[in-house]
Structure 1
Amino acid sequence: MRAIRGLWRWRRNPLRRSTDLIEAWVALVTLVLIAVAAPLLGVVVGAAAQGALQRSVRQQQHDRHLVVATVVRRLGSAPVEPDPDTTSAHDTRSRVLADWTGPDGSHRHGPVLTTLKSPHKGDHFDVWTDPHGLITARPLDSTTATTHAVLAGFGAALLTAGLVDSARRLIVWRMVRRRYARWDQAWDRAGPDWGKAGTGS
């Protein structure tokens, strides 16, 4: 609104400088870009991210399999969580040596992280594997993918708005610097006559 008021105020003002009008137009263009272009770009980026992430969801759900593993023995605890989308930061996983059978029928044996609080030999738990039976992270779910896409779109809109406003500020800053430089030149031309006798002051 300030840009529109600025344009209206400078429309027929005798004190209007060309830079005042340019500054008001720059503000108006910035307002339109932030109100229209930034949300539009956010929607486009969000839709593109949604499409890519949903393809990843389908691919991961096709390629990753939930199999049952059996505890052989406990190896210790692992306070660092490798898959932040699955559990909270307060969860502590136990590290165990386990046996499992991959989707391709291969028998696997190795260290695995489990959510069992007190794992004992023979306990069963679920693990995610690739088609060859190698341990992998759980597949991305559709809800998480949509959340990431929305955040990507929102971030793109904010970034666009920030860049547009930064460009406006840079343009106005350069105009103000140029205006001050012109004033300095005018004062320099008038300055040497100040206070001298016979100059009409």
Structure 2
Amino acid sequence: MTEAEGGCGTVGAIIGLWRWRRNPLRRTTDLVEAWLALATLLLVLFAAPLAGAAVGVSVQGTLQKAVRDQRKDRHHVAAVVVRKLSRGPLAPDPETPSGRNAHSRVVADWTAPDGTPRRGTVIADLKSPLPGDRFSIWTDRHGRIIGRPLDAATATAHSTLAGFGAAVLSAGLLECGRRLILWHMIRRRHTRWDRAWAKAGPDWGKADTGS
């Protein structure tokens, strides 16, 4: 296998396993490059997906635990609009399923899970809130406003992306490792050629060298 062929990629190197098996011009490095490419391909096909699956399962477990913990610590509470503040509707909430629900800033009353009455400025998922309108908010057990808990579907989506990213990263690292080893092999080959040429150079063209 020539250097150009060696740099053509993993598939070309693997083909070299068959091409060079009985070729008298075969060098040891030709087979090493081909076996290295085959090993890398097998690892990319099998080890990288396993690594991605392991990361995905681990992240899924962590996020699902966070979902359960947040569900225990955060409470869905009904609030009643006292009055709408003068500012206009806020931007849509990106965490809502549609991402198109208009929100408004209002003064509202609600009762904390521990029974404490609360009043404060909150964001209502109402386009045109009127006094007495009811809406839902998330609070801690003392009635303090808190963000909505992570939902199971979002956690699963994040874990899937993490697993896919880990698989892609593993495959990329394996290919980078193969290319790095190949680069070192080619450098060593060039070094041997330079030494051989330097040794033969002083005698090149002399009558007694058979030229």
Query: Structure 1 length as normaliser, TM-score?
Result: 0.85
Name the counterpart of 1:187.
Answer: 197
2-structure distance, mates of 1:172, 1:91: 56
SS of the counterpart of 2:164?
helix
1:29 aligns with 2:44: no
1-structure distance, mates of 2:200, 2:99: 70
1:125 aligns with 2:109: no
2-structure distance, mates of 1:117, 1:85: 17
CA contact (8 A) 2:102 2:126 kept: no
Name the counterpart of 2:90.
Answer: 78
Shift of 1:143: 1.8
1:14 aligns with 2:27: no
Shift in CA distance, 91/171, structure 1 to aligned 2, threshold 3 Å: farther
Shift of 1:187: 2.4
Name the counterpart of 1:159.
Answer: 169
SS of the counterpart of 2:130?
coil
2-structure distance, mates of 1:152, 1:68: 35
Q: Deviations over 1:81-127 (max 9, x none)?
A: 4xx43256655422222221111111222221122112233322111
Letter in 2 for 1:44: A
Higher mean C-alpha deviation, range 175-184 or range 152-161: 175-184
Name the counterpart of 2:187.
Answer: 177
Q: Over aligned residue pairs, what C-alpha RMSD do you find?
A: 2.4
Which of these residues, 32, 46, 55, is aligned with residue 65 of structure 2? Answer: 55
Query: Structure 2 length as normaliser, TM-score?
Result: 0.82
CA contact (8 A) 2:81 2:108 kept: yes
Name the counterpart of 1:98.
Answer: 108
1-structure distance, mates of 2:146, 2:169: 34
SS of the counterpart of 1:69?
strand
Shift of 1:38: 0.8
How many residue pairs were aligned? 199
SS of the counterpart of 1:56?
helix
Shift in CA distance, 196/160, structure 1 to aligned 2, threshold 3 Å: same
Shift of 1:197: 7.4
SS of the counterpart of 1:131?
coil
Shift in CA distance, 16/198, structure 1 to aligned 2, threshold 3 Å: closer
Which of these residues, 127, 135, 140, is aligned with residue 145 of structure 2? Answer: 135
